[in-house]
A and B are shown apart, each in its own frame.
Chain A
Amino acid sequence: MKVELAKPNPPKVKSAKSSGPFSIMWREIVKDKLALGSLILLGLILIIVYGASLLLDQEKIVTVDLLSIYDPPSAAHLLGTDYGGRDILGQLIIGAKNSFTIGFFITIIAGCIGLSVGLCAGYFGGKVDNIIMRIIDFVLILPTLMLIIVFVSIAPTYNVYSFIMIMSAFLWTGKARLIRSKTLAERELDYVNASKTMGTPDWKIIFREVLPNLSSIIIVNLTLNLAGNIGIESGLTFLGFGLPESTPSLGTLVSYASNPDVLQNKWWIWLPASVLILVLMLCINFIGQALTRAADARQRLG
């Protein structure tokens, strides 16, 4: 029983095929000039920061130089020096690298926890869902910022890894709730039922079938979270409860401004770091907005 079908025109086939989430996202970013500009700027900043931190000698930057305390910007120190005569530009680059890397890892870890908890609660429903939702409700009413600060100050061995863990432990709940509600809706659809009838194991349905359908929402959420997490991290470091001193972040440079003299007279120490945090967060948010539109077909530009 061989039926030879007439070959349709190849280009038509191509256009009839619905494009995947990634090509839609890309199209949306390119359509939105602000998002495209942000993406380019963010890419440039990251290349410069990560590239330069490879070339920079960290030892040399953190070495105290008593002869050049609080030097204003000059040819030797493009952005001047701090109270220990250390080069601000070098600290800015290392700080940006640390802030972004740590924000990124917090986003990924909190994302993974939130994702798996949310998928389980939404997919299995019933008792599992009930218990998980009670836990999430509880974490949401905690005074998060204060508890993070308390944990940071009583952690027995405090380093970058424990900081990432403490942050992730508090920041997964919002994502879990979002993913749960989306999974709840997805689970009622026919394709999941069909798969169940065919005897596909639950984990396979969850990860191979439900998860890909949520991918665009997850990416949007992670992008917006990344911006938020960089903000929270630098804010905590600013207060003195973030990264340990051995790993300076952008917040460390901003925190020098708690000294009124630095805030008032030595702008080159804290202003560049503040502006860099702002630019990073704005860029990531603009990209996130474009991705949000891509995830919601009604809002797309084209």
Chain B
Amino acid sequence: MLKFILRRFLIMIPQLIILSILIFALAKAMPGDALTGQLASSPKMDAQTLMELKQKLGLLDPPYVQYLRWMKGLLHGDLGMSVIHQTPVTQLLAGRIGNTLLLSFAILILSYLIAIPLGIIGGRWTNSWADKMIVGYNYLTYATPLFIFALLMLFIFGFVLGWFPSGGSVDIRVEDGSFAYYMSKLNHLILPAFSGAIVSTTITIQYLRNEIIDTKIKDFVKTARAKGVNESNVYTRHILRNSFLPIAAFLGYEIVYLIGGSVFLESIYGYPGIGQLFVASISQRDFSVVTALVMISGLATLIGTLLSDIILSAVDPRIRIE
């Protein structure tokens, strides 16, 4: 087991290096560099001084030297300067990453809260009317693109019914840290979290339902029934225990979905997080922020898949690479 984790870790290192090279190359291809960010306040500068400054900042060094320096900065937590905001990118991120984490966490919890009961009902009472409804629900959520669903939710619950606020992450009028502040935060969270969660339930429901249908005709379940275990214990003790662990393992892959989803959800709901910052930075051509965000998302994706692989291999020994 330890050997597998170690090996999986070692695979990650070259992936991380290639990822950083790719992103560095992209950053070089983007118009504007670190200098443009720092000099925006004094746009009038003759070519001579500009060259000297570039020399001093090392922008004329060969690419690999620049890459190594950039990597060193990354490892020290230095992500560069934002051109538009004139602040270090790390500072810009610090204010927003909490919101995105909160939203992602809420989506995860909600999607499990919705998906697990539905999956169990569908698997236990196959072909009942409830199961048919669940299968229909699955078809719908599978086919619905996130941005359309989020927009419809916003239209119905935010505008027509007016139950929830239509944008932002908190009401600016409430005092920071008070009870009303947290309630307002929660209130702003509900709509985006539900939109993200409902669309992401499909895979869990489908998996759980199929797994239960497959397991409930197996011999060990028949044995349990023959022993006189009552029906609800057959499900909770014997069938579900086998099916839950892989679901926990999908958690890491879910991170990949959440990163993509946050871009849509946050721009639709005006929720100030990483995804919204990304779209805004691209539109404003603030490329140092873009580079940092892509790098962070890449890292998150890598860690997510790593987590999933480790949990899966712990659950199912067949997956381990030898």
Contact = CB atoms under 8 A, between A and B. Distances in A.
| Interface of chain B, main secondary structure | helix
B144 A278 contact: yes
Interface string B248-263: 0000000010011001
Given A143-B259, A143-B297, A270-B151, A149 B145 contact: no
A170 to B, nearest CB: 12
B220 interface: no
B15 A141 contact: yes
A254 B26 contact: no
A52 B293 CA distance: 43
A241 B301 contact: no
A141 B268 CA distance: 26
B142 A274 contact: no
B269 to A, nearest CB: 11
Given A263-B151, A281-B144, A285-B139, A137 B15 contact: yes
B282 A235 contact: no
B159 A264 contact: yes
A295 interface: no
Interface in A266-296: 267, 270, 274, 277-278, 281-282, 285-286, 289
Nearest to B290: A150
Interface in A198-229: 227
Nearest to B302: A141
Interface string B150-181: 01101100010000001100000000000000
Contacts of B302: 141
Contacts of B75: none
A165 interface: no
Contact of A141 (B146, B260, B298): B298
Contact of B282 (A138, A149, A285): A149
A56 interface: no
A143 B301 contact: yes
Interface in B132-155: 139-140, 142-148, 151-152, 154-155
Given A278-B143, A281-B144, A285-B139, A257 B151 contact: yes
A111 B28 CA distance: 31
A146 B154 contact: no
A241 B282 contact: yes
A241 to B, nearest CB: 7
Given A153-B282, A260-B166, A281 B145 contact: yes
Contact of B159 (A150, A263, A278): A263
Contacts of B267: 239, 258
A147 B139 contact: no
A144 B294 CA distance: 10
Interface residues of A, number: 40
B224 to A, nearest CB: 26
B35 interface: no
Given A154-B26, A260-B166, A285-B139, A231 B15 contact: no
A232 B305 CA distance: 22
A239 B298 contact: no
Given A239-B279, A285-B143, A254 B159 contact: no
Interface string A220-262: 0000000100011011001111000000000000100110100
Contacts of B151: 254, 257, 263, 270, 274
Given A143-B301, A254-B147, 16 more contacts: A137-B15, A142-B298, A142-B301, A143-B259, A145-B260, A146-B263, A149-B263, A149-B282, A227-B143, A232-B145, A234-B147, A239-B279, A258-B267, A260-B166, A263-B159, A274-B148
4 closest A-B pairs by beta carbon, nearest first, are A143-B297, A231-B145, A145-B260, A281-B143
30 contacts: A137-B15, A138-B15, A138-B19, A141-B19, A142-B298, A143-B301, A145-B263, A146-B260, A146-B278, A146-B293, A147-B294, A149-B263, A149-B282, A150-B294, A227-B143, A232-B145, A234-B145, A239-B147, A240-B283, A258-B267, A260-B167, A267-B155, A277-B145, A278-B143, A278-B148, A281-B143, A281-B145, A282-B139, A285-B139, A286-B139
Interface of A: 137-138, 140-147, 149-151, 153-154, 227, 231-232, 234-235, 238-241, 254, 257-258, 260, 263-264, 267, 270, 274, 277-278, 281-282, 285-286, 289
